[in-house]
Homo-oligomer: A and B are copies of this chain.
Amino acid sequence: MPEPVSATRREELLAIAAGLFAEKGFKNTTVRDIADAAGILSGSLYHHFDSKESMVDEILQTFQTELFGQYEDIIAGDLDPLAKLERAVVVSFETIDKHRDEVAIFQNEAAYLLTFDRFSYLAERNRQSREVWLTLLQGGIDAGVLRDDLDLELTYRFIRDTVWVAVSWYRPGGRHTHTEIARQYLSILLEGIHHHA
């Protein structure tokens, strides 16, 4: 197993931990599991990190900074409302493709991690995410390009859930690329599955 020259040992260990946290859950992954996967003893992990919590913390912070930066760029950009919404969906699926473990951890463990003070920033991220989607949807409605007879909150949840839950089954190299999935999901979301003559 050749290792990327650029990856420090620290980043390697974080990637291993992320894979296990995503697959088995945070609480259900022991420091011995992580150490075994890395080929070292559990105690040796504490040369690199303070605690198991610090590992998942670093994993989540890194990817969230990147993701929310992209959302901000979209909103601040000059695309038309519909294109902005489409772009946000595509970016989300790109993130699922590029940061599958991190997204899975955020999806599955956020509720549990929020019981610790040090992870209270996750609640802020959720609030931020809601604002992004509501802003994009309202923009489309104001421009007359989206239906105005739907409950905005329900529509937001519909989109959010549909996009992120795909991380539970999407695998790179599967029968659909993330681009193709985004395209079809957008088609259903915008046009519906009903046949229009």
Among A24, A140, A192, A193, max chain B CB count under 10 A is at A193
Tell me the chain A residues, 158-197 only, with Cβ under 8 Å from chain B: 158, 161-162, 165-166, 168-169, 175-176, 181, 184-185, 187-196
Listed in ascending order, the chain A residues whose CB lies under 8 Å from chain B are 24-25, 27-28, 108, 112, 140, 144-148, 150-151, 153-155, 157-158, 161-162, 165-166, 168-169, 175-176, 181, 184-185, 187-196
A146 touches B28 (CB 8 A): no
Pick from B146, B168, B193: contact of A190, CB below 8 A.
B193
Question: Smallest Cβ distance from A169 to chain B, in angstroms?
Answer: 6
With A144-B195, A192-B188, A192-B191 known to touch, is A157 a contact of B166 (CB < 8 Å)?
A: yes
CA distance A150 to B192 in the complex (A): 10
